[in-house]
A and B are shown apart, each in its own frame.
Chain A
């Protein structure tokens, strides 16, 4: 696997928009919450594009050179449509829910190689749009099992730059694709947990550290059942008992909201990271593992199993 160390890469300001169910007190300083799923637009897809446009409009400055990002819709529609006509280079990425870390790593490599000075990593997801994309449209009214996750609505963008700020990107690992033969499109936690473990162990080996060297290990959207599986896999395969661990999906919704196993979607991790973890100023060294299930509805319908991936970035709060 490819791992990188960076010298002068920083995460500068960010901008976030979140949906109605995320407005529950867990997140702090979100720039705007939506009033409903449509947000004044005609379709749910338009509303996702509108969120991304708002994020980009607030982050783009004269020295922005590149936008890297993606979302969950086919042909990464929301991102491709939100970057039109702004004269900034664009690279679309699709790693499902791992898109955010993938984008930050791509930008970090360009910046530490001194190819560019500043770029924006952006991602978004919309509950209704991604249910339609991956499982059943909501109007079908399908019954859901308890271990399924609820796609988070929102959009987050962050400026990755050479210019110093208090959040430094120290190192990163691009994960490899893991397939454990799971075919259930509702069971994303079980699909992604093995990929997260693999990337974490690879990164620890590369940096010659242990899990106790970090204040927090944050995964994106494993959900309650997926987090348990993550801990069990670490314990049984590597003998590591992990205590400084949080999962974004498990904490983004409160218990009484009854969102099954927790939140998911590419925006779940950055919302928790920027609007909860970094706001608390409690942690100094953070390992962020974004997990994505590279799940194609077509192949699942043809009874194929679901591959998954995890990308990791190591942050240092100064």
Chain B
């Protein structure tokens, strides 16, 4: 059953993105940022982790999960280090994503070319 819910939730996020792209002047960049903020907001209300428990990986894959991880990192930092801890820890948990994106895009740019 988790697989089914996972499919529904992830699909719902994608449909939402497509509806925004088709009906507004937003660029893909706008939509991505919007979803990150949305994920962080849901995380602040304590909802996103519950959604992950319920639907599994379907909530981990879309970009909203990035917002959730950002918020969780900042929250952990705040608890251990106060106000400065917010800044100290915010990017720690998402470091895996960011660092691998930078390194792998560099590596791939060495032997690939832009295509249509």
Q: How far is the CA of A20 from the CA of B25 in the complex (A)?
A: 31
Q: Report if B99 contacts A (CB, 8 A).
A: no
Number of A-B residue pairs, CB cutoff 8 Å, is: 24
Q: Is the CB of A127 within 8 A of B22?
A: no
- Which A residues, 100 to 153, have Cβ-Cβ distances below 8 Å to chain B? 127-128, 136-143, 145
Residue numbers in B under 8 Å from A139 (CB-CB): 114
Q: Is the CB of B115 within 8 A of A138?
A: yes
Q: How far is the CA of A86 from the CA of B23 in the complex (A)?
A: 51
Q: Report if B82 contacts A (CB, 8 A).
A: no
Q: Report if A232 contacts B (CB, 8 A).
A: no
How distant is B30 from chain A, measured CB to nearest CB, in Å?
Answer: 11
In the complex, which of the residues A138, A145, A184 contacts B114, with contact meaning CB atoms closer than 8 Å? A138
Q: Report if A83 contacts B (CB, 8 A).
A: no
Residue numbers in B under 8 Å from A37 (CB-CB): 114-116
Interface residues on B, range: under 10
Q: Report if A242 contacts B (CB, 8 A).
A: no
Q: Report if A38 contacts B (CB, 8 A).
A: yes
In the complex, which of the residues B21, B27, B114 contacts A128, with contact meaning CB atoms closer than 8 Å? B114
Main secondary structure of the interface of A (DSSP, over half): loop
Q: Is the CB of A138 within 8 A of B21?
A: no
How distant is A43 from chain B, measured CB to nearest CB, in Å?
Answer: 9
Residue numbers in A under 8 Å from B79 (CB-CB): none
Q: Report if A44 contacts B (CB, 8 A).
A: yes
Q: Report if B11 contacts A (CB, 8 A).
A: no
Q: How far is the CA of A137 from the CA of B29 in the complex (A)?
A: 13
Q: Is the CB of A142 within 8 A of B116?
A: no
Q: Is the CB of B115 within 8 A of A142?
A: no
Q: Is the CB of A127 within 8 A of B116?
A: yes
Q: Is the CB of B113 within 8 A of A184?
A: no
Residue numbers in A under 8 Å from B22 (CB-CB): 145
Q: Which residue of B lies closest to A141 (CB)?
A: B28
In the complex, which of the residues A136, A138, A143, A145 contacts B116, with contact meaning CB atoms closer than 8 Å? A138
Q: Is the CB of A38 within 8 A of B113?
A: yes
Q: Is the CB of B28 within 8 A of A142?
A: yes
Residue numbers in A under 8 Å from B27 (CB-CB): 136, 142
Q: How far is the CA of A143 from the CA of B27 in the complex (A)?
A: 8
Most buried by A among B21, B25, B115, B116: B116
How distant is A187 from chain B, measured CB to nearest CB, in Å?
Answer: 9
How distant is B105 from chain A, measured CB to nearest CB, in Å?
Answer: 9
Instruction: Type the 1/0 row for B23-57, where 1 means its CB is closer than 8 Å to any CB of A.
Output: 00101100000000000000000000000000000
In the complex, which of the residues A137, A143, A183, A184 contacts B28, with contact meaning CB atoms closer than 8 Å? A143
Q: Which residue of A lies closest to B105 (CB)?
A: A139
How distant is A262 from chain B, measured CB to nearest CB, in Å?
Answer: 16
How distant is A21 from chain B, measured CB to nearest CB, in Å?
Answer: 8
- Which B residues, 98 to 116, have Cβ-Cβ distances below 8 Å to chain A? 113-116
Q: Is the CB of B25 within 8 A of A137?
A: no
Q: How far is the CA of A128 from the CA of B113 in the complex (A)?
A: 11
Q: Which residue of A lies closest to B27 (CB)?
A: A142
Q: Is the CB of A184 within 8 A of B25?
A: yes
Most buried by B among A127, A128, A139, A184: A139
In the complex, which of the residues B21, B28, B114 contacts A44, with contact meaning CB atoms closer than 8 Å? B114
Q: Which residue of B lies closest to A42 (CB)?
A: B113
Instruction: Type the 1/0 row for B7-29, where 1 means its CB is closer than 8 Å to any CB of A.
Output: 00000000000000110010110
Q: How far is the CA of A137 from the CA of B116 in the complex (A)?
A: 10
A-B contacts besides A140-B28, A142-B28, A183-B25, 13 pairs, CB < 8 Å: A37-B114, A37-B115, A38-B113, A44-B114, A127-B116, A128-B114, A137-B114, A138-B115, A139-B114, A142-B27, A143-B21, A143-B28, A145-B22
Listed A/B pairs (12) with beta-carbon separation below 8 Å: A37-B114, A37-B115, A37-B116, A38-B113, A136-B27, A138-B114, A138-B116, A140-B28, A141-B28, A142-B27, A145-B21, A184-B25
| A residues apposed to B, CB below 8 Å | 37-38, 44, 127-128, 136-143, 145, 183-184
